[in-house]
Amino acid sequence: MVTTMPKEVSLLAVVFDLDDTLFPERCYVRSGYRAVAEHLRRMLRRRDALEDRLWRRFLAGKTEGAFDALNDHFDLRLTGEQILELVSVYREHKPSIRPWPGVPAMLSRLHAQFRLGLLSDGFLPAQRLKLDALKLGRFFDAVVFTEEMGREAWKPSPIGFEAIRAELDVPHEACAYVADNPAKDFLAPNGLGWRTVQYLRPGQVHAHKPPPRDEGLPQAVVRSPGELLEALRD
């Protein structure tokens, strides 16, 4: 459902989140687990159902400590250093991911009307590798990965929003942020006077999470590229 957002100032820039907004995050997780499983099979010369175990655990809602749990379940006898190596394999693999249907065409249409930005939390180099794999970088006039500014810049901090607004060279009140996760995505831009839109798609990981307080609710909720274009129209 599209709701009305404040429109006192004409919209000049639209900034997007990355994970689960432009592509399915679970596809990245599956791709990373596959890379880790292949790494372990080469290292240990075992053919356990490693990827399947990781994936079933994720589908059960268990996302923390995945590699420690795998180590314990299969008695792999990995050291702490080897577990950290698996984390690096996961974050540094070349992901097999695609945008949500309709996203490239939607970005193309928006880029003809607005300045576009990408603002994303997450570990590097994983975020850059995701953007490269999606082949969407050409649509963005500015890209800010908050990790480059330190963990204190991760959302819900306003630091990243301040930085990308400066790069796009537009007023805060002329910006919109499109994202998926109410727990962290909308509090800061709402406070800065941005328009905020939650882009819902089937199977998102964090879209159901509550905001830290009411000021963190999105101003509009959409479920398709067409609804998003409508919500951003002045």
Give the mean pLDDT of 132-155: 97
- Residue 97 CA to residue 94 CA, distance in Å, equals 9
pLDDT of 4 over the 60 cut: no
| Mean per-residue pLDDT over the chain, rounded | 94
What pLDDT, in 10s, does the model give residues 48-65? 899 999 999 999 999 899
Give the N- to C-terminal CA distance of the chain in Å, as an integer. Answer: 17
Instruction: Tell me the pTM.
Output: 0.92
Question: How much is the pLDDT for 3?
Answer: 45
Give the mean pLDDT of 184-205: 97
pLDDT of 2 over the 70 cut: no
Question: How much is the pLDDT for 234?
Answer: 62
- Residue 195 CA to residue 218 CA, distance in Å, equals 8
Q: Is the peptide bond before 104 cis (omega within 30 degrees of 0)?
A: no
pLDDT of 124 over the 50 cut: yes
Farthest CA pair distance, the chain = 63
